[in-house]
Amino acid sequence: MATVATVASVVSVSLLSEAEFGCEHLATQLGQDANTAEQFKSSFIKAHNSLAVLPKPVDGLIKNARSKAHGFLKPKYICLTCSETCLMSERQAHTDKTGHSFFMDSRARNLYCQGCGDFVFDHGLERLRCSAAESALQVAKKRRFSDSSADELYIRSNATKRPCAKQGVRGLFNLGQTCYLNVILQTLLHDPILSTYFLGDGHQPHDCTIPDCVGCAVAEAFADFNSIDKAEGFTALNLLVASWRSSPTLAGYQQQDAHEYYQFLVDKLHASTEDHHENHQKGCPCFFHKTFYGKLRSSVTCDKCGNVTKTEDPMVDLSLDVQVKKRAMGGGVGSSTPTLSGCLESFTSPEKLMAGVYNCSQCNGGSQKATKQLRIKKLPAILCMQLKRFEHSASVSEKLEGRIEFPLSINMLPYTTNPHSKVDKARFMYDLSSAVVHKGKLDSGHYYVYCRQGDEWMLFNDDQVTPVAEADVLNADAYLLFYNLRSLASAPQ
């Protein structure tokens, strides 16, 4: 019986080591005496903080970004035991000489295990990274996985390992809090419509005369990304610099919102074409307007006389309310998980306006109660939908966590101005192309993105690229969803 109990204990430790810790080598390191474990955690935080990007004066940001980019092209690794800095080719020799196996890379500050020969992710160390400096080590001392059979069963059912493979795709190096740029650029790079444009006779940098043109920077990124001579990741330095110079609010290494950057990028791409119109109401003929911009119709009906006032505005995305307390969402009775279709139905449902908001022209201009409804007048070829997870008000600022169900394909006809028209529904079918995820707190965190690559899906976490299953994408806590019109030949006008 003692032998059986010993074997069971070894199996239990193996399971816990593989799931609770980043790898079995890290489990051994952190499973030693308390002083040794705390010293390793302190070294982890020290290395992390030494690589943190410090605020720079705006005048020196661009010069600093260029010097940083050259440094990122050759990543360095800080030994977490002795703080010695090694190049990639020197790691093994350092381990053979000293026995030190753990390093932090200078690009994304990820943990590298020389014993595994790969980057590893550890939940406990990640909590240290996300916690305030003064309380980081205290946070690490909180509840660990218990040795109960229930925890072991959960770990056995959910702990998986997936090999990393680029398979013809390329990651983007993080230049210091630039994950917001990386996820949007990866989304564009994997879009077949945009690839056809930029790799064909689209925007030509050698003919462009616009200073610090964002269109030129994106075109160069497409050329670099699709270079057959390179397989490693690359830096979108020119796009970062052009973005900084075009928008003072983007300049610097502070956190940025990926949704706001997408809106900025689309607007700058639109402005980079020679035949564009600044006034979107005139029906701009440029490629980017036709690709990204749709049209929303707002109808306000006077509750007293029934007069309807209609206005139409351009849209570059749909911002959908997912705050459960405010909107009724879900796919049916008893459903507790919000759904994309529920968000769209809420977005296009009639809404009672507050008294005093609407002045009816048919009621002698008097203030009347009214009902407002939004509908999609025209759909773009690339449809971006933001699931509004961030709420800011005078009383609260919070982030809504949790999954919102979304499909691989969606019919947008029910949300248009003619939802019941007898038309070919294929003209309104959209297929998912990318899903952007934000992990972290309201004022900090990290972005990564799932992109469709042919018939497969890839996870892009800065320069790390991992093949994933379709189920992994659908289970993601998405923040931005990008859908492509299935049939461009029958695009709705």
Catalytic center residues: 179, 446
Q: Which residue type, as a one-letter code, is found at position 181?
A: L
Closest to 385 measured CA to CA, from 421, 410, 350, 366: 410
- Sequence-distant (6+) residues with CB within 8 A of 216 are 203, 205, 208, 210, 238, 242, 272
Q: How many CA atoms lie within 13 A of 197 on its CB side?
A: 19
State how far the Cα of 341 lies from the Cα of 127, in Å rounded to an integer.
Answer: 34
DSSP-assigned states of every residue in 274-293? TT--S-GGG---SHHHHHH-
Closest to 23 measured CA to CA, from 101, 128, 136: 101
State how far the Cα of 82 lies from the Cα of 57, in Å rounded to an integer.
Answer: 32
Taking 3-state DSSP, the helix, strand and coil percentages for the chain, each rounded to the nearest 5, stand at 40, 25, 40
State how far the Cα of 73 lies from the Cα of 70, in Å rounded to an integer.
Answer: 5
Q: Is-contact 451 437, C-beta < 8 A?
A: no
DSSP-assigned states of every residue in 302-323? ETTT--EEEEEEEES-EEEE--
Q: How many CA atoms lie within 13 A of 77 on its CB side?
A: 23
Helix (H) / strand (E) element for 464: namely strand 464-468
Residue 334: left if φ>0, alpha if ψ -120 to 50, beta else—which one?
A: left
What's the token pair of residue 27? 């489990």
Angle, helices 258-271 vs 179-189, to 10°: value is: 50
State how far the Cα of 436 lies from the Cα of 431, in Å rounded to an integer.
Answer: 15
